[in-house]
Amino acid sequence: KNEVEQSPQNLTAQEGEFITINCSYSVGISALHWLQQHPGGGIVSLFMLSSGKKKHGRLIATINIQEKHSSLHITASHPRDSAVYICASRAIKAADKLIFGTGTRLQVFP
């Protein structure tokens, strides 16, 4: 079992829909990252969370440390949000490394 699990693996949505991507992890972490990867490779770091909630534009990330769970929400989705979204954890005992989830492939249609 992967230490970081994401759901769903694939997600399609109509433009304007509210989107939620979930991430669960199995070990104690010092931080959790949400990353966005567009076709062609480039990865953009969206959020780094250690507690609570962060918001940037239409993106909101939340984390519940007790439940070992994080969510990424996209409000008023747009076709340009189509990408792979990856969560990655930094374990407390191995903060040097990121443990990546398998990613959620999002397609937003006009």
Partner 1 sequence: DTEVTQTPKHLVMGMTNKKSLKCEQHMGHRAMYWYKQKAKKPPELMFVYSYEKLSINESVPSRFSPECPNSSLLNLHLHALQPEDSALYLCASSQNQRVLRANEKLFFGSGTQLSVL
Rounded-to-10 torsion of CA 90, 96, 99, 103: 90
**Which 3 state secondary structure label does DSSP give 27?**
coil
Stretch 60-99: interaction string toward partner 1, x if CB under 8 A: --------------------------x-x-x----xxxx-
Least distance in Å: CB of 110 to partner 1? 25
Residue 16 or 28 having the CB closest to partner 1: 28
Q: How would you label 32-49 residue by residue, b for 16+ Cβ within 10 Å and e otherwise?
A: bbbbbeeeeeeeeebbeb
Q: Which stretch binds partner 1 (CB under 8 A): 15-23, 34-42, 60-68, 71-79?
A: 34-42
Residue 60 and residue 105: Cα distance in Å, rounded?
A: 18
Residue 81 and residue 96: Cα distance in Å, rounded?
A: 30
Decide if residue 45 touches partner 1 (CB under 8 A). Answer: yes
Can you give the binding site for partner 1, defined by CB under 8 A?
A: 30-31, 33, 35, 40-45, 47-48, 50, 86, 88, 90, 95-98, 100-103
